[in-house]
Chain A
Amino acid sequence: MSVPSRVLLMRHPNVGKSALFNRLAGTSITESNYPGTTVDYTESELVRSDGSVPIVDVPGTFSLSPSDRAEAVAVEMLEDSPAATVVCVLDATQIERGLNLAVEILERDRDVIVALNMFDEARREGVDIDVDRLSELLGVPVVPTIAVDGTGIDALQARLDDARNPSVQRILERVADEGPDGGESEPSIAVADPSPPVDERTPADGETGGDDRTPDEDGENALGTGQRWNLVDAIVARTVSYRETDASLSDQIGRLAVSPRTGIPFAVAVLYGVWTVFSAVAGFFTDGYFVPLFDDYWLPWLQSAFPMEGSWLYFLVVGDPTATNSFEAFGVLTSGLFVAIGVVLPAILTLYAILAVLEDSGYMARLAVLLDAAFRRIGLDGFAIVPMVLSFGCNVPGVAATRSLETEKQRFLTMTLLSVFIPCGAQLGVMLSLIPQYTGYILLYLLAGFFVFGAVLNRLVPGSAPDIVIDIPPMRQPRVANVTTKLSVRVRGFVTTAIPFVLLGVAVVNVLYLGGAVEWLANTFRPVLSGWFGVPGETVPALIAGFMRKDLAVAQLSAVSMTPFQTITSVVMVSLYFPCVATFAMLIKEGRESGGVLKVLGGALATLLAALFVWGGLLRLIGIALGVA
């Protein structure tokens, strides 16, 4: 076979979690949006001795008859590159359904090479695979790999040119000729039949309905779903033997984590642990290093070294010349830089690290199963946990992740609830630094609002939640290399997009101050702020800053003198009220794909106004009832 022009990595969702891609890819990994859709894929260059070829990590799919949008993109990418070499990445521990996908790709006449990933784990779990025989039967190279430690990657690279495109008929014949392994009973006679195999299920049974195949793929090389599985069973019978092994510790944890009786306490423990680690680690860096650095060195130095004290430029860049801490100075290079680097960066870094570990361990799927029934009450399903948890890092990827939800109603509900009720990691970081004793309560109050308003929206918005099937991957120990790759991509994204926003936010608020707009707004909104919410009009600058960045808004609140309860109320208000500019832009972008910008934005704004006044007002009532307001 000739040198490939383009390499497509195709796999099930979750398999190797792109670890193999990271091994094969060069340094320039880019994430792109598939045109006309909201599905992301990753692309890079595969460096070879004779130049480099594009390599694409196709979104994970279980089959080529797609049942969701990411799968549809996977199929389209395959169809758009007829000359591409397909590296079919199979999870060796679940070889059956991997082979099902591999056979389906072979039916589409592509040059294929199979990577049997997690080969070590399969062997530990008692799955022994005769690689040579498998390669012989399929007629394509089969390379065992262990992506996490790099085993087999060189062999895979070296054999890329050997990728073959055997006809499925030939595979059927070879399987029939070879006979079953070790005289075991034949799992299926259908493939032994030299004439085109007939599925034992009759069409009247409804099991081989036309819904499994699109008309244009019904060529001579295409099999029905039943036939394909029969072929897979026959191949497995000839190449794979299963040994009984004891359940490993991670198997047992995985099992306990998904049973209701043990799983719910486990989830509470995990989430509490995440919260504790997050606040401790973020606080460690912020209070231990950045607060002294900024307050004792950077702020005094800038205050004295920056010329033109009293000018508008000084006010913009440095802020208050007498401030003794970096939160209160409120200049672009004092508070702006401190919030962005000293507070938010450690918080985001910690949270993203925890999220990456949760994702890579396979725990998210279990959380989705546990929470499915609860989410169903508010018109969502277990998958909504993914955008929700991501939103705690940053609302922007959270809103983006709603793409994976199936119905318009679910996408609208999730993105609205997220952007209104979930405080982002940056905001949490500032809260932890300024009001650590209240942060947990504020978070719980916001989460309660998430479910209450979810239940109301579920009634108001027509449509229903579809029934979902969740694949539960085995619990795995997250690999440092994988976690750090993920972390660096996300942190790079944060640094380049968020830090300019923070600095700009400080500048905008300061300019409004100088122009007298803040005073005017404070006077205009004072009746509402103090009348309804019981907070002083001086919170207006924070609310303005909240348009730019929520973290900044909370930082700004610290400069206003308020009672503790007023502080809590105003922080809750800042959280509920307008999503930050970046989230807003994302809502517009995603709204286009989910029933129209006007509908989504209108609905989201109506929800946030209702949430702000009802949930904010309710908090004041609670405060009055408790005698603290």
Chain B
Amino acid sequence: MTDHHTSQSDESAAGTGRRKRKRCRRRCGDGVCKRLVDLDAGETGTVERVGRRGRRRLRSMGVRRGKEIKVCSKHPFGGPVVVDVGQSTVSLSRAHARDLEVATEG
């Protein structure tokens, strides 16, 4: 778990939006790194990176790196993504969910 952290921070230091998206498809940690928005309802993962968008609010609500995250539901027509993190349930906009990276099993 430790070495991928370093490689990640190296990359995101130079990362632009496009590069981040690309990086999402490569393997990270013991799983695959995906954007939260690409997870289906019911899928789980571990928060890898909380994007700059709304980060302050999300982190104060407990959405932060290393936490287990589960997608409860995704609302249609570009609606919000509802997730379980820790003991809390939080609804993120699609833009937030695109900007949040999650390590998943498969």
Indicate which residue in A200, A368, A471 contacts B5 across the interface (CB closer than 8 Å): A200
User: Once the chains bind, are B93 and A468 in contact (CB under 8 Å)?
Assistant: yes
- How far does the alpha carbon of A306 sit from the alpha carbon of B72 in the complex, in Å? 67
- How far does the alpha carbon of A370 sit from the alpha carbon of B82 in the complex, in Å? 10
User: Once the chains bind, are B56 and A94 in contact (CB under 8 Å)?
Assistant: no
B39 at the A interface (CB under 8 A)? no
Q: Which residues does B use to contact A, with CB under 8 Å?
A: 5, 8-10, 12-13, 41, 49-50, 52-62, 64-65, 72-80, 82, 86-96
> Given the known A-B contacts A207-B50, A469-B96, are A67 and B57 also in contact in the complex, defined by CB atoms under 8 Å?
yes
User: Once the chains bind, are A467 and B96 in contact (CB under 8 Å)?
Assistant: yes
Q: Which residues does A use to contact B, with CB under 8 Å?
A: 62-63, 65, 67, 93-97, 100-101, 125, 127, 200-202, 204-207, 211-212, 225, 229, 254-255, 258-260, 263, 365, 368-370, 372-374, 376, 381-382, 467-472, 474
Chain B residues contacting A202 (CB-CB under 8 Å) are 9
User: Once the chains bind, are A472 and B61 in contact (CB under 8 Å)?
Assistant: no
Chain A residues contacting B49 (CB-CB under 8 Å) are 205, 207
> Given the known A-B contacts A94-B88, A258-B82, are A469 and B57 also in contact in the complex, defined by CB atoms under 8 Å?
yes
Chain B residues contacting A93 (CB-CB under 8 Å) are 87
Closest to B83 in A: A472
User: Once the chains bind, are A470 and B60 in contact (CB under 8 Å)?
Assistant: no
User: Once the chains bind, are B88 and A370 in contact (CB under 8 Å)?
Assistant: no
> Given the known A-B contacts A258-B73, A259-B72, A373-B75, are A96 and B62 also in contact in the complex, defined by CB atoms under 8 Å?
yes
Chain A proximity of B29: nearest CB distance (Å): 14
User: Once the chains bind, are B72 and A471 in contact (CB under 8 Å)?
Assistant: no
- How far does the alpha carbon of A472 sit from the alpha carbon of B8 in the complex, in Å? 31
The 10 closest A-B pairs by CB, nearest first: A373-B79, A63-B60, A467-B93, A62-B60, A204-B13, A470-B91, A205-B9, A472-B89, A259-B73, A97-B62
Indicate which residue in B54, B60, B92, B96 contacts A100 across the interface (CB closer than 8 Å): B60
User: Once the chains bind, are A207 and B65 in contact (CB under 8 Å)?
Assistant: yes
User: Once the chains bind, are A94 and B87 in contact (CB under 8 Å)?
Assistant: yes
User: Once the chains bind, are A373 and B82 in contact (CB under 8 Å)?
Assistant: no
User: Once the chains bind, are A260 and B73 in contact (CB under 8 Å)?
Assistant: yes
User: Once the chains bind, are A469 and B73 in contact (CB under 8 Å)?
Assistant: no
Closest to B89 in A: A472
Indicate which residue in A201, A206, A373 contacts B52 across the interface (CB closer than 8 Å): A206
Closest to B59 in A: A225
Indicate which residue in A62, A96, A201, A472 contacts B65 across the interface (CB closer than 8 Å): A201
Chain B proximity of A479: nearest CB distance (Å): 21
User: Once the chains bind, are A472 and B57 in contact (CB under 8 Å)?
Assistant: no
- How far does the alpha carbon of A84 sit from the alpha carbon of B60 in the complex, in Å? 24
Chain B residues contacting A467 (CB-CB under 8 Å) are 53-54, 92-96
- How far does the alpha carbon of A200 sit from the alpha carbon of B96 in the complex, in Å? 23
> Given the known A-B contacts A373-B75, A472-B91, are A96 and B86 also in contact in the complex, defined by CB atoms under 8 Å?
yes
User: Once the chains bind, are B56 and A211 in contact (CB under 8 Å)?
Assistant: yes
User: Once the chains bind, are B56 and A372 in contact (CB under 8 Å)?
Assistant: no
- How far does the alpha carbon of A374 sit from the alpha carbon of B75 in the complex, in Å? 11
Chain A residues contacting B73 (CB-CB under 8 Å) are 258-260, 263
User: Once the chains bind, are A97 and B60 in contact (CB under 8 Å)?
Assistant: yes
- How far does the alpha carbon of A201 sit from the alpha carbon of B73 in the complex, in Å? 30
User: Once the chains bind, are B77 and A469 in contact (CB under 8 Å)?
Assistant: no
Chain B residues contacting A225 (CB-CB under 8 Å) are 56, 59
- How far does the alpha carbon of A17 sit from the alpha carbon of B41 in the complex, in Å? 30
Chain B proximity of A318: nearest CB distance (Å): 56
- How far does the alpha carbon of A96 sit from the alpha carbon of B68 in the complex, in Å? 14
- How far does the alpha carbon of A16 sit from the alpha carbon of B16 in the complex, in Å? 42
- How far does the alpha carbon of A369 sit from the alpha carbon of B77 in the complex, in Å? 12
User: Once the chains bind, are B12 and A469 in contact (CB under 8 Å)?
Assistant: no
Indicate which residue in A229, A259, A376, A469 contacts B58 across the interface (CB closer than 8 Å): A469
Contacts A202-B9, A204-B9 aside, 10 further interface pairs with beta carbons under 8 A come to: A95-B87, A97-B88, A204-B12, A205-B12, A211-B55, A229-B59, A369-B75, A373-B78, A471-B90, A472-B88
- How far does the alpha carbon of A65 sit from the alpha carbon of B92 in the complex, in Å? 19
Interface centre among B55, B59, B60 (most CB of A within 10 A): B60
> Given the known A-B contacts A206-B52, A467-B95, A467-B96, are A127 and B76 also in contact in the complex, defined by CB atoms under 8 Å?
no
Chain A residues contacting B91 (CB-CB under 8 Å) are 258, 365, 368-369, 372, 382, 469-472
- How far does the alpha carbon of A259 sit from the alpha carbon of B81 in the complex, in Å? 10
Chain A proximity of B101: nearest CB distance (Å): 12
User: Once the chains bind, are A67 and B56 in contact (CB under 8 Å)?
Assistant: yes
Chain B residues contacting A255 (CB-CB under 8 Å) are 72
Chain A proximity of B10: nearest CB distance (Å): 8
Closest to B91 in A: A470
Chain B proximity of A303: nearest CB distance (Å): 58
> Given the known A-B contacts A62-B61, A469-B92, are A96 and B87 also in contact in the complex, defined by CB atoms under 8 Å?
yes
- How far does the alpha carbon of A370 sit from the alpha carbon of B79 in the complex, in Å? 8
> Given the known A-B contacts A62-B57, A260-B76, A369-B91, are A229 and B82 also in contact in the complex, defined by CB atoms under 8 Å?
no
- How far does the alpha carbon of A467 sit from the alpha carbon of B94 in the complex, in Å? 8
Chain A residues contacting B5 (CB-CB under 8 Å) are 200-201
